[in-house]
Amino acid sequence: MAAEGGAMKRGARRAGHAGLIGFFVIFSAFPFYWMLITTFKSTPDLLKRGNNPFLLNAPPTLEHLKVLFYDTLFGQWIWNTLLVGVVVVAITLLLAVPAGYALARVMGPAGEKLGIAIFLTYLVPPTLLFIPMSRIIGDLGLQDSLWSLVLVYPSFTIPFSTWLLMGFFKAIPKDLEEAAMIDGLSRFGAFVKVVIPISVAGILTTVIFTLTLVMQEFVYALTFITAARSFTVSVGVPTFLVHGDVYFWGSLMAGCFISSVPVALLYNFFVDRFVVGFTMGAVKG
Amino acid sequence: MAIVETRDVQKLFGDVRAVDGVNLATNEGEFLVLLGPSGCGKTTLLRMIAGLEQPSSGDIIIGGQVVTALPPRARKIAMVFQSYALYPHMTVGKNIAFPLKAQGTPREEQQKRVQRSASMLGIGHLLHRKPRELSGGERQRVALARALVREPAVFLLDEPLSNLDAKLRTSARDELQQFQRQVATTTIYVTHDQVEAMGLGHRIAVMDSGRVRQLGTPQEVYHDPADTFVATFLGSPPMNLIEKPEYSLGFRPENFLPREVYAKDGHLFALPCRVTRLEYLGSDRLVYGVTEGKLEGHRVISKLPSNISVFMQPGERHEFALPEKELKFFDPRTGLRAAPRAL
Ligand SMILES: Nc1ncnc2c1ncn2[C@@H]1O[C@H](COP(=O)(O)OP(=O)(O)OP(=O)(O)O)[C@@H](O)[C@H]1O
Ligand SMILES: [Mg+2]
């Protein structure tokens, strides 16, 4: 009897697990599914009431993709976004890695507070900042140039990344750096040869977060840039695919899908790295 | 090989005097143990010798050269951390080669020396593993191999055995001693375990609250403690201490035995006790008692080897005694050793 009860309990627990996991899978996969089928739905199918919105009710069409790629500058926008993204990531790492390390190790107890203060600047909304910023961009003659974004984006990616990296560096046992210093390296050498390789997970996380922040940024991109050739995806897609109250849903969703899948893949690819206790085995047993 | 010397070394952390004026000098090739209770400043002193911490005042001298202002890498030292501090992203082989690579040793030479120190410690077969795939004992050996590979002038070890289980610790202690005698490199070893200190060291520096209380061979610190701190810190159970206004009297529990154990003649100091409690420890019996007679009312412990089968039970009064030469006198005010006196 007892054994049977145990088996039933175990079964119930397993079903509960499966249910929970299923829920989250649907929850996170649904937006992608929605974008994907909308991309291939013909417009009448999309707009007709009474159709099952979750399925293709008419044969799929490539019309929306054609609009996206031939009637807008989508390819150019992707390229712009990528360019800005890569340069901003490089600038961010160049400044945030040393800053995070300094806050974690060199500053002592003040570092923690300073780190939080730096993070707080990330919370100042761009809707406030774009007004003074646009003056600066104007004075520098960078209107309509992607360089305006390259200049402004680090103002929020660096605080965020510094704070993130500070946490990662703090988690690295001090002993490791000290051992490296005794083994013949300078403090900087120990940082480059020991701390950075151990923090790959943290640095990858920073890269992905920075990329995501850049890709979704809207306010600055909208205000600083008016030439369609210099748009980023986040501005170009809604500007060109929403005419008044007419939404080109198919092309909109296609644009979203194409720009979000690489990020999703990147996340998935490195998820192990994010989660794994990478310093395990370095200290103690 | 080199002599390490500290001159009036002090370290303040805010108000805390972690190390408070330490003067030490090792001998050539010596195994010197820093022993003391937790928080007495052993690690801090070792880190200052390593160059990981700057002394607030005083100087560190290694091999005749003042190194106080030099960074760790310029001091020709190797250190084994309590945590072993193996680089988690490198294989064992790369870990051991790391100090060589840092000083730009040619690749073949690196290979040869890694092989040699790995085989010396019996870890030649582990070179391709990552640190997380090793047991505690293996990690300790990797850390030693990494310290050894560069042939440093001085080894610094901070409680390298404290993460091992009791059995492994005994064998590791043995290996460590053999290893040190073999390479004959000056070694400073930090521990709070007196058994380790007694077993390993040529000499022991007993520390308390930032100061060295006594520096001597294991025999000296045990049989001739310089003060009441050293006397009661060493030994298990520690030295019995009877504190009177005019003098303090110390004697080891293993010398304090039932009267009938000693021969009739001989210079004995007799001290009757009321037995309060007995503890059976296998190889020994501990008898807890309260003194009676002229030194009445002090708690004392007697340690009887199991081959002494004198019957005793709690509540009973018993004659105890010890050889007069085993009595140690201390100044009750300063705690320092004092000249023997008549009782
Ligand atoms: N970085 C620091 N900042 C402030 N106080 C410190 C620091 N490092 C050590 N101390 C203090 O200095 C004293 C000595 O510390 P230390 O680590 O040298 O002790 P220890 O003898 O190694 O003890 P244990 O056996 O527990 O390792 C302690 O009171 C400790 O709190
Ligand atoms: Mg310590």
Question: Is the per-residue pLDDT at A283 higher than 70?
Answer: no
Residues contacting ligand 1 via CB (< 6 Å): B 13, 16, 18, 36, 38-44, 192
Domain spans in chain B, listed from the N-terminal domain onward: 4-223, 237-338
Residue in A176, A179, A281 closest to B132 by CB: A281
How many CB pairs (< 8 A) connect A and B? 85
User: What ipTM describes this predicted complex?
Assistant: 0.84
| Ranges A27-41, A181-195, A270-284, B133-147: which has the least confidence | A270-284
Neighbours of ion ligand 2 (CB under 5 A): B 43
Bridge partners (DSSP) of residue B274 are: B290, B317
Question: What are the tokens at B312?
Answer: 């005793």
Burial bucket for residue B136 (CB in 10 Å: 0-12, 13-18, 19+) = middle
B237-338 belongs to which homologous superfamily? Nucleic acid-binding proteins (2.40.50.140)
Ligand sitting nearest the alpha carbon of B40: 1
With a cut of 60, say whether residue A282 has pLDDT above it.
Answer: no
If one residue of B38, B43, B207 were mutated to test the ligand 1 pocket, choosing by the most ligand atoms within 8 A of its CB, it would be B43
pLDDT value of position A115: 85
Are the beta carbons of A285 and B136 separated by less than 8 Å?
Answer: yes
Among B44, B56, B161, B209, say which to mutate for ligand 1: greatest number of ligand atoms within 8 Å of CB.
Answer: B44
CB B125 within 8 A of CB B138: no
CATH number, span A74-275: 1.10.3720.10
pLDDT tens digits, A214-243:
998 999 999 999 898 999 999 998 888 888
The percentage of chain B sitting over the pLDDT mark of 70, rounded to a whole number, equals 100
- Distance between CA B201 and CA B188 in Å, rounded? 9
Contact B83 A284 (CB under 8 A): yes
Q: How far apart are CA A128 and CA A131, in angstroms?
A: 6
Identify the bridge partners of residue B299 per DSSP, sorted by sequence position: B290
User: What tokens appear for A61 in the block?
Assistant: 């069409």
Domain ranges of chain A: 31-61, 74-275
Nearest CB neighbour to A186, from listed B71, B84, B99? B71
**How far does A104 lie from chain B, in Å, by closest CA?**
17
Q: Sorting pLDDT into bands at 50, 70 and 90, what band is B46? A: very high
> Which ligand number lies closest to the CA of residue B54?
1
The gap from C-alpha A233 to its chain's centroid, in whole angstroms, comes to 14
Selection from A92-96, A207-211, A255-259 with the highest mean pLDDT = A92-96
- Reading the block at residue A84, the tokens are 């800005």
B89/chain A closest Cα distance in angstroms: 6
- pLDDT digits over A33-52, tens only? 999 999 999 888 888 888 88
Residues of chain A positioned with their CB less than 8 A from the CB of B133? 281
Give how far A210 is from chain B: nearest CA, Å.
25
* CATH of region B4-223: 3.40.50.300
Task: Give the chain A residue nearest B163 (alpha carbons).
Answer: A284
Mean pLDDT of A66-79: 91
Ligand 1 atom with the smallest distance to the CA of B210 is 14
pLDDT(A277) > 90:
no
Nearest CA in chain A to B146: A183
**A260 reaches B (C-beta below 8 A):** no
CB contact under 8 A, A183 and B150: yes
In whole angstroms, give the CA distance from residue B130 to residue B107: 21
> Residue A112 burial (CB < 10 Å; 0-12/13-18/19+)?
middle
- The set of long-range contacts for B332-335, using a CB threshold of 8 Å and a minimum separation of 24, is B332/B243, B332/B244, B332/B245, B332/B246, B332/B247, B332/B248, B334/B227, B335/B227, B335/B228, B335/B229, B335/B248
Measure the CA–CA gap between B122 and A143, rounded to whole angstroms: 68
For residue B243 the two structure tokens come to: 């504190």
